[in-house]
Amino acid sequence: MRAAKPRLPAPCHGIAISAAKPPGCIPTRLLSPAMRLTTTLCCSLLTTLLWIPPGQAMPQRHGDGFSVGVEQITPHLQQQFPWQYELMPGVVSVEFRQPQLQLRDAQAQLAVDISITTLGQRTDLGRAQVASGLRFDPLQAAVYLQQPRLLGFTQADGRAVPIDAQTAGMVNEVLASYANQQPVYQLPPAYAALAGAVQSLQIEDGRLRVRIAR
């Protein structure tokens, strides 16, 4: 009968998982140089795999789906700005900057600085207040604005900025283009597989609630 092969004790690492050491744990200083190197590399790899970049926290799970808050959507949104749209290439362009999103009253509310450049001359229109619905694209596993509309412009002190109908129409045209091209939120890879089963998208209690069909 062959003798049972002895089991090596589990090494202890510098990162504490719990206050008590696991049974059979030995300090890494007692391991051979090769085993210490292997242990260090494994620990580094595990840390890399488990690390979640700021603003990319996983959605909150619910019995019928999941939800995300503004704090999770904002980092993705900010990566897209400044965003520029050419109304007349080389002649007239519109630029969006400094987005701020809120989810309330069953709709998305976006504040964004808008400027227009005509033949190289830039004019700041002010900070636009935009209201919009939201839609989910299962092919892109992403959330987009739906039918955004300009509510008005404000200055830094909150005072309203007069805007003519022609400028308002131009801004709404650019907003529609943005809504078709740029998602405000992309599902994390771990949730992208559920995109085809998304049944509804709603704003509830300041969060974006995604329900999955069963």
Lowest pLDDT segment from 33-42, 132-141, 180-189: 33-42
Residues 102 and 15 in one domain: no
List the CATH number of the domain containing 167. 3.15.10.40
pLDDT over threshold 70, residue 43? no
* Number of helices (H), then strands (E), in the chain: 4, 11
Please report the pLDDT score of residue 113 as a whole number. 93
- The model's pLDDT over 123-160, given as tens digits with 9 standing for 90+, comes to 888 899 999 999 989 889 899 999 999 999 987 677 88
Binned at pLDDT 50, 70 and 90, residue 24 comes out as very low
Residues 27 and 123 in one domain: no
Residues 72 and 43 in one domain: no
Give the whole-angstrom CA distance, residue 115 versus residue 84.
Answer: 10
Q: What mean pLDDT do residues 10-27 have?
A: 38
Please report the pLDDT score of residue 34 as a whole number. 58
Q: CB under 8 Å to 203, separation ≥6 — which residues? A: 103, 104, 106, 107, 108, 134, 209
Q: Report cis status (omega within 30 of 0) of the bond before 82.
A: yes
Residues 19 and 113 in one domain: no
Give the whole-angstrom CA distance, residue 83 versus residue 128.
Answer: 14
Residues 6 and 98 in one domain: no
In eight-state DSSP terms, residue 140 is: T
Residues 97 and 115 in one domain: yes
Please report the pLDDT score of residue 51 as a whole number. 39
| β-sheet bridge partners, residue 103 | 108
Binned at pLDDT 50, 70 and 90, residue 27 comes out as low
Domain total in the chain: 2
- Residue 4, domain extent: 1-51
Residues 45 and 95 in one domain: no
Binned at pLDDT 50, 70 and 90, residue 36 comes out as low
More confident residue, 154 or 10: 154
Give the whole-angstrom CA distance, residue 134 versus residue 32.
Answer: 58
Give the whole-angstrom CA distance, residue 153 versus residue 170.
Answer: 14
Residues 125 and 200 in one domain: yes
pLDDT over threshold 80, residue 39? no
Residues 190 and 144 in one domain: yes
| β-sheet bridge partners, residue 208 | 68, 203
Residues 87 and 173 in one domain: yes
pLDDT over threshold 50, residue 199? yes
pLDDT over threshold 70, residue 103? yes
Binned at pLDDT 50, 70 and 90, residue 17 comes out as very low
Q: What is the CA radius of gyration of the chain?
A: 26
Residues 10 and 36 in one domain: yes
Burial label for 11, CB within 10 Å (0-12, 13-18, 19+), is: buried
Please report the pLDDT score of residue 33 as a whole number. 61
Residues 40 and 101 in one domain: no
